C-alpha cells in the first residue's frame, strides 16, 4: 500500500489576510483546504486501521517474513545445488551430493572443498547412507512430521536449540546410518518394506506409531516448551524425534540442527501450512493445505516488485483477473482493501507495456468495494491502449445515495502513450451502465506523446471530481468532459488544479485544452491551460459554469490561439486570465447573462489585434473590475467586438486598447449622480469616445447642442458627439 498523499497547501491565507484585512477568508478556499487535510488524515487513519487492532495490538497477519529482524528468522534458506561463481549469504543452504551444508560466512563460491576447509560451510545433514529405504515408508514418515516442518517458518527457538539437542542428534545420526546399512532395522518397522506395497503400508503405520511414542518419551523440557508454542500457533502436534525419523534425517556434525534440518529441506511444505509464497506463480504451483483459507504473496513476479497481496479461498472461479488457481485445484481471489496495478504485474519501467496490468486492476476495482491507488513508478508507465476506469458504484439503499468510488494516482506517476489511441484514460462510458456518479479521479501526468487524441475522457457523469491531473502533447484535447452520444446530459463536473501543456512545438489545428460537451453546471478552479490552438476552454456544454482562477496561455513556440475561452451563457468567470496573443478575442460568449469579474487579458507579445470580448448574437456580459492590458507595440484592436450592445463594462482598467468601451448600462441611485468637472481647456482631447459626458465650469454660452467655448463663467453639461464637445 502506498504512503498517504501528502497535504500541500494551495492558498496563502496569511497573505490574503494581510492584503484584505477587512475581508472574510474565502469560504470556498477554506473548504478546499480542509477537504485536502481531511483526505490525508483519512488515509493515515486507514493505514493505522490496517496495522493496529482496536485493542491497540498489532493487527492479525500484519507482520510477514520481510518485517522480521534477522535474529527472529530461522537462518536457513531453501537448499539449492552448489555452483561456482555464486554469491552465498550467511545461512544459505546447498546440496553437495547427498549432503546439505549451510554458509557460515557470506562469500562468492570458487571451489567447494577449499571453501569447506576454510570454514565457510558446515554440514547440516548427510543422506549418503539412505539408499535402500522403501520410498513408501519414507513418505509415511514425512507425513508423520508434517507439523515439525512447519516449525521452520514460525519458531526460531526450534532451530536455535541445536546445542541442547546434540546428544539426541548424534543418536539420530547413528540410527540413520544403521538404518541405511542394514535393511533389518528398516524391516523391523516396515516389515520387509519394498517387497510389497502391502507391507510398505504396514511399515508406514508402524513408523507413525513409533514416531509418536518416541516423541513423548524423548523430548527434553526445553524442546517441549518451544514445541508447545509452535503447537499453539499452528494447531498441529509437533514431534521432536522418532525411530523412523532418525533413519531419515540426522545431523552431520557438531552444532547442527537434528530434525530441524529436515524442516529446512521441506520449506515448500511449510509454506503450504503457513500460506505464504514468493510470487503468484509459486502460489499457483503449490499444493496448499485444505485448512488454509488465506495466503500472502510477496510479489507478483518477484519478491518486492510491488505485488504484495493477500488472497482468500473461494468456492468457484472469480469473474475477474484478481484470481489464481493452485495446483490442488482450489480457486483464490484477491482480498485487499486497496488495489494497485502492481498486483496485476505492472512494471513502471517505461519499457514494458503496462496496459493490460492497469485494465485488469481497474476491472477488479469496478466490481469490488475497495479503493484504488497507483504508486509513483521508478520511471513511468508505458501505455499502448486506453485505460478504462469505472467509477460507478451501486445505489446504497441503506442511506439513499450512491457510494462514490475514487482512483488516486500518486503525484509523480507518469504515463506515456506508445501507440495511437483516442483517449489515454476513459472514465466510464457513454451508457447508463457506464455513467459516473459521485466519482473522484486524482493525480497523474499523462503524455499523449502526439499519438493520443485526448488525455482524459469522461463521456457521461453526474458529479465527477477530477483533481491534480496534467496532460501533455494532446492532438485534440487535454480533457473531454461529456459526449453528444450519451442518453442524458452530464452535469456537475468539478475540475481542480488540472493543467495542460506541450513541448516546444506548435499546437495542432483545432486543439483545445478542455472541452465540455452536452451539459452544464460545471466548475473549474485554479487550472493552467497551455498548448491549444482554438481555445483553453470551449464546448457546447459550457452553460452556467463557475470558473475561478483559470489561466489560458501559450508559449511562443505553441503559436497564437483563436480564443482563451469560448463559452455559452449563464457563466461566471472570477479571477480568470488570458495571457497570450489571441487572434480574435480573449473571451467569446454565445449566450446571455455572463459575468467577468476581476478577469484579465495581458497581451505583451504577438501581432497587433484581437479583442477583450467577442459577443455573438443574443450574448450579453457584464465585465467588472477587469484588467484589459496591452503594450504600446502589441495593442488590442478593441475592448469588444461582435454584437457590442450586449457588453457592459464597469470599473475596468484599460490600457493599450485602440477602442476602449467600458460603460455602465444602468445605474439606479437614491441621490444625485455627478460627473467630473473640467474647464473647456482640460476636457479630454484623446482618451474619449462618443457619448462620454462631463461638466464644464467656464462656458461662455449655454445654448443646447452648440460647441462649448471656454473663458466664461457658466456651468453646463457637455457630451462628446464623436467630433466635438457640445452643450447638452
298 and 253 inside one domain: no
Which of these three, 285, 319, 334, is where a domain ends?
334
Q: Helix count (H) and strand count (E) of the chain? A: 16, 52
Q: What pLDDT does 66 receive?
A: 63
All residue ranges of the chain with pLDDT < 70 are 1, 64-77, 129-274, 393-403, 603-608, 632-634, 656, 658-669
Exposure class string for 366-402: b at 16+ Cβ within 10 A, else e:
bebeebbbbbbbeebbbbebbbbbbbbbeeeeeeeeb
Whether residue 126 lies inside any domain: the answer is yes
- Structural domain boundaries enclosing 326: 275-334
262 and 289 inside one domain: no
User: Rounded distance, CA 22 to CA 298, Å?
Assistant: 58
281 and 328 inside one domain: yes
Phi, psi of 722 (to 5 degrees): 105, -20
Block residue for cell numbers 483545432: 510
DSSP 3-state of 678? strand
Cell numbers at residue 146, please? Answer: 508434517
Whether residue 427 lies inside any domain: the answer is no
325 and 177 inside one domain: no
CA dihedral 163, 165, 167, 173 (to 10 degrees): -110
252 and 285 inside one domain: no
98 and 156 inside one domain: yes
Whether residue 598 lies inside any domain: the answer is no
Q: Is 256 exposed, middle or buried (CB count within 10 Å of its CB: 0-12, 13-18, 19+)?
A: buried
Cα 421 from chain centre:
22
User: Rounded distance, CA 507 to CA 509, Å?
Assistant: 7
Q: Is 56 exposed, middle or buried (CB count within 10 Å of its CB: 0-12, 13-18, 19+)?
A: exposed
Whether residue 10 lies inside any domain: the answer is no
Asked whether the whole model's pTM tops 0.85, one would answer no
User: Rounded distance, CA 651 to CA 636, Å?
Assistant: 18
Q: Is 291 exposed, middle or buried (CB count within 10 Å of its CB: 0-12, 13-18, 19+)?
A: exposed
Q: What pLDDT does 170 receive?
A: 47
Q: What pLDDT does 173 receive?
A: 47
Whether residue 514 lies inside any domain: the answer is no
Q: Is 697 exposed, middle or buried (CB count within 10 Å of its CB: 0-12, 13-18, 19+)?
A: middle
Q: Which helix (H) or strand (E) covers residue 458, if one does?
A: strand 452-458
Whether residue 16 lies inside any domain: the answer is no
80-81 and 93-96 strand pairing: parallel
User: Rounded distance, CA 47 to CA 49, Å?
Assistant: 5
99-103 and 93-96 strand pairing: antiparallel
Q: What pLDDT does 190 receive?
A: 34
577-578 and 600-603 strand pairing: parallel
User: Rounded distance, CA 229 to CA 439, Å?
Assistant: 49
163 and 309 inside one domain: no
234 and 305 inside one domain: no
CB atoms within 10 A of CB 34: 10
Number of domains present in the structure of the chain: 3
141 and 154 inside one domain: yes
195 and 300 inside one domain: no
161 and 283 inside one domain: no
User: Rounded distance, CA 480 to CA 459, Å?
Assistant: 7
Which of these three, 225, 240, 272, is where a domain ends?
272
Q: What pLDDT does 440 receive?
A: 94
- Residues 211 and 145: beta-carbon distance below 8 Å: yes
* Sheet of 99-103, strand order: 80-81, 93-96, 99-103, 121-126
Cell numbers at residue 493, please? Answer: 463536473
Q: What pLDDT does 23 receive?
A: 86
Which of these three, 247, 272, 297, is where a domain ends?
272
686 and 708 inside one domain: yes
Q: What pLDDT does 401 receive?
A: 56
Whether residue 672 lies inside any domain: the answer is no
Cell numbers at residue 207, please? Answer: 513408523
Whether residue 318 lies inside any domain: the answer is yes
Q: At what angle do helices 183-190 and 166-181 cross, to 10 degrees?
A: 100
CA dihedral 464, 468, 473, 474 (to 10 degrees): 10
Amino acid at each position: 500500500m502506498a504512503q498517504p498523499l501528502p497535504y500541500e497547501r494551495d492558498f496563502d491565507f496569511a497573505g490574503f489576510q494581510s492584503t484584505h484585512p477587512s475581508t472574510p477568508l474565502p469560504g470556498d478556499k477554506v473548504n478546499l483546504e480542509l477537504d485536502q487535510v481531511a483526505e490525508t488524515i483519512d488515509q493515515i487513519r486507514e493505514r493505522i486501521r490496517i496495522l493496529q487492532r482496536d485493542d491497540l495490538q498489532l493487527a492479525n497477519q500484519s507482520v510477514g517474513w520481510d518485517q522480521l529482524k534477522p535474529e527472529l528468522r530461522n537462518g536457513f534458506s531453501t537448499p539449492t545445488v552448489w555452483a561456482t561463481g555464486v554469491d552465498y549469504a550467511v545461512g544459505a543452504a546447498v546440496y553437495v551430493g547427498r549432503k546439505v551444508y549451510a554458509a557460515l560466512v557470506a562469500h562468492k563460491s570458487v571451489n567447494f572443498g577449499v571453501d569447506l576447509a576454510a570454514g565457510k560451510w558446515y554440514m547440516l545433514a548427510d543422506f549418503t547412507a539412505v539408499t535402500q529405504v522403501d520410498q513408501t515408508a519414507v513418505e509415511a514418515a514425512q507425513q508423520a512430521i508434517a507439523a515439525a516442518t512447519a516449525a521452520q517458518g514460525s519458531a526460531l527457538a526450534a532451530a536455535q536449540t541445536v546445542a541442547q539437542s546434540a546428544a539426541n542428534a548424534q543418536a539420530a545420526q547413528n540410527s540413520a546410518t544403521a538404518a541405511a546399512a542394514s535393511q533389518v532395522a528398516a524391516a523391523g518397522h516396515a516389515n520387509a518394506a519394498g517387497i510389497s506395497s502391502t507391507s510398505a503400508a504396514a511399515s508406514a503405520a508402524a513408523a507413525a506409531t513409533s514416531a509418536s511414542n518416541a516423541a513423548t518419551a524423548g523430548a527434553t523440557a526445553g524442546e517441549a516448551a518451544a514445541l508447545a508454542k509452535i503447537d499453539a500457533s499452528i494447531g498441529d502436534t509437533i514431534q521432536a524425534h522418532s525411530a523412523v525419523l532418525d533413519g531419515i534425517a540426522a545431523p552431520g556434525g557438531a552444532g547442527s540442527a537434528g530434525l530441524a534440518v529436515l524442516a529446512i529441506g521441506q520449506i515448500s511444505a511449510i509454506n503450504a501450512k503457513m500460506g505464504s509464497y514468493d510470487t503468484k506463480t509459486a502460489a499457483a504451483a503449490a499444493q496448499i493445505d485444505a485448512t488454509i483459507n488465506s495466503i500472502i504473496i510477496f510479489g507478483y513476479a518477484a519478491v518486492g516488485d510491488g505485488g504484495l497481496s493477500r488472497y482468500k479461498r473461494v468456492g468457484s472461479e472469480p469473474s475477474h483477473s484478481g484470481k489464481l488457481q493452485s495446483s490442488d485445484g482450489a480457486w483464490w481471489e484477491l482480498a485487499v482493501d486497496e488495489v494497485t496495478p502492481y498486483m496485476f504485474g505492472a512494471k513502471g519501467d517505461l519499457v514494458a507495456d503496462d496496459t493490460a496490468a492497469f485494465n485488469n486492476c481497474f476491472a477488479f476495482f469496478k466490481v469490488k468495494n475497495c479503493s484504488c491507488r497507483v504508486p509513483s513508478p521508478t520511471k513511468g508507465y508505458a501505455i499502448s491502449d486506453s485505460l478504462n476506469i469505472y467509477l460507478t458504484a451501486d445505489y446504497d439503499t441503506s442511506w439513499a445515495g450512491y457510494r462514490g468510488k475514487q482512483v488516486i494516482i500518486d503525484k509523480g506517476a507518469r504515463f506515456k502513450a506508445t501507440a495511437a489511441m483516442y483517449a489515454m484514460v476513459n472514465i466510464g462510458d457513454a451508457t447508463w451502465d457506464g455513467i459516473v456518479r459521485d466519482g473522484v479521479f486524482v493525480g497523474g501526468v499523462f503524455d499523449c506523446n502526439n499519438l493520443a487524441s485526448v488525455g482524459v475522457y469522461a463521456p457521461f457523469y453526474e458529479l465527477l471530481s477530477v483533481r491534480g491531473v496534467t496532460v501533455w502533447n494532446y492532438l485534440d484535447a487535454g480533457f473531454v468532459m461529456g459526449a453528444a452520444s450519451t442518453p442524458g446530459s452530464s452535469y456537475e463536473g468539478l475540475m481542480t488544479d488540472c493543467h495542460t501543456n506541450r513541448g516546444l512545438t506548435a499546437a495542432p489545428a483545432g486543439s483545445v485544452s478542455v472541452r465540455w460537451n452536452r451539459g452544464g453546471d460545471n466548475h473549474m478552479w485554479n487550472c493552467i491551460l497551455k498548448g491549444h490552438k482554438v481555445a483553453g476552454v470551449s464546448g457546447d456544454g459550457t452553460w452556467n459554469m463557475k470558473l475561478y482562477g483559470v489561466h489560458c496561455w501559450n508559449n511562443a513556440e505553441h503559436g497564437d490561439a483563436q480564443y482563451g475561452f469560448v463559452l455559452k451563457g449563464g457563466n461566471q468567470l472570477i479571477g480568470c486570465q488570458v495571457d497570450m496573443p489571441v487572434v480574435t478575442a480573449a473571451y467569446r460568449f454565445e449566450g446571455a447573462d455572463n459575468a467577468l469579474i476581476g478577469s484579465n487579458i495581458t497581451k505583451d507579445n504577438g501581432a497587433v489585434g484581437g479583442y477583450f470580448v467577442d459577443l455573438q448574437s443574443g450574448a450579453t456580459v457584464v465585465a467588472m473590475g477587469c484588467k484589459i492590458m496591452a503594450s504600446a507595440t502589441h495593442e488590442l484592436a478593441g475592448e469588444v467586438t461582435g454584437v457590442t450592445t450586449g457588453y457592459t463594462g464597469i470599473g475596468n482598467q484599460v490600457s493599450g486598447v485602440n477602442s476602449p468601451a467600458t460603460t455602465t448600462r444602468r445605474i439606479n441611485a437614491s441621490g444625485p449622480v455627478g460627473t467630473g468637472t473640467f474647464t473647456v481647456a482640460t476636457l479630454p482631447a484623446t482618451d474619449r469616445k462618443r457619448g462620454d459626458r462631463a461638466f464644464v465650469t467656464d462656458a461662455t454660452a449655454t445654448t443646447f447642442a452648440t460647441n462649448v467655448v471656454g473663458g466664461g463663467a457658466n456651468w453646463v453639461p457637455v457630451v462628446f458627439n464623436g467630433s466635438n464637445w457640445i452643450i447638452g
